[in-house]
Amino acid sequence: MNSAAAVSGLGITEMGRVYRSAPDLAAEAVGLALDDAGLEKSELDGLLVNAGITQELGLQLHISLGLTDLNLLTFMQGYGSSAGQMIQYAAMAVANGLANNVACVFADSPLREGQRTGASYAGRRGGGDAMGALHGLYGFVGANAMFAMAAQRHMGLYGTTNDQLGQIAVGQRQWAGMNQRATKREPMTIDDYHASPWVFEPFHVLDCCLVSNGGVCVIVTSAERARDGQQPPVYLRGFAQGHQHDTGRADKDYAICGPGERVSKAAMSMADVTLDDVTQCQLYDCYTYTVLDTLEDYGFCEKGEGGAFVEDGKLAPAGSLPTNTGGGELSSYYMWGMTPVSEAVIQGRGQGGERQATNDVILCSGNGGMLNYHSTLVLSPEAAS
């Protein structure tokens, strides 16, 4: 499967407070991706759909798009790992002749006009059972609480600090300053980070991802077709996914150990690369902590050493491991797993402008749930030799 498929098209809508429905944004993203790839709608014979928190997007998208002769159509939900999963299935489909051009699309519109950003996820936080209701009485609700507790666990075990988490946020804001699409481009210092309000200790506002309305579509085709395409091909050198749960198990600390270790090893093995070959990372960053945790799981440093690994700014523009070069979900836009994927494609094409980093081997992650679901992609502008 190494380099048998490639990304040929990318469509990104306007992001942020764009008050349109998710199906409308998805349709626009697909159209933009087709234009980008130089394809007619009739040439699209596969559609994979991932809906966001509003769950407004479904399989009916193919009807509104007027796609009448699809060979592949499915709805996928692995939360933040879904983008990587969709691309994996699309790659396997085109490599085995099940489809020629497969669109992988995500769109969501949780932001409502006249409503504060934080209210966009209100009422979608779970807690329908008795224990959830009890947690809710004390403010322990939603992803902020769960990931904050995981970060606290990491701090308690290893001495990780807010200064270290803050370096991730500051570095990504520096990248966002060079990205015209980024929602947050104004400069940010470590003092600004510490001055931002607490959300759920140890998370400040600036530890947390944005909330965005928008849509992203990626078109996957065979390597042969991609080489004849309108855009430089970005080859899918390797991919893998892995999923876990912590119910009734005491053999693993799931607050700090997701499935990323085994998933990244499998993806890099398929790609026939090692960490020494990786020139940049696009990592799922719903929180600063998930970046740190993924770096540890992927083996860039030992478990517990992530804080020390990032504190010198090596993820920032002047650093040795360019990471989340568009600003990530913390500063650019939050399209679940499509945020790191879209930047990986831009970087793989060499179209990053002033933020372009060395793109020989790009490692891209997706994370869903509370470190439950994981996907890894290895991308490159060069096919395997």
Catalytic machinery residues: 284, 334
Q: Which of 313, 310, 370, 307 is nearest to 156 (CA)?
A: 307
The DSSP output letter for 197 is: P
Q: Tell me how far apart the alpha carbons of residues 234 and 349 are, in angstroms, rounded to a whole number.
A: 6
Backbone angles phi, psi at 323, to 5 degrees: -135, 130
Q: Which residues contact 78 (CB under 8 A, 6 or more apart)?
A: 50, 85, 241, 243, 366, 368, 373, 375
The residue assigned the tokens 């690994």 is 309
- Could you give the C-alpha distances from 241 to 259, 289, 327, in angstroms and in order? 8, 20, 24
Q: Tell me how far apart the alpha carbons of residues 286 and 151 are, in angstroms, rounded to a whole number.
A: 13
Q: Residue 122 in contact with residue 69, Cβ under 8 Å?
A: no
Q: Tell me how far apart the alpha carbons of residues 256 and 303 are, in angstroms, rounded to a whole number.
A: 8
Backbone angles phi, psi at 16, to 5 degrees: 110, -130
Q: Which of 223, 352, 371, 186 is nearest to 279 (CA)?
A: 352
The residue assigned the tokens 């309108």 is 230
CA dihedral 17, 21, 22, 24 (to 10 degrees): -110
Q: Which residues contact 17 (CB under 8 A, 6 or more apart)?
A: 111, 113, 213
**For residue 202, cis peptide bond before it (omega within 30 degrees of 0):** yes
Which residues are registered as beta bridge partners of 106? 50, 216
Q: Tell me how far apart the alpha carbons of residues 154 and 180 are, in angstroms, rounded to a whole number.
A: 34
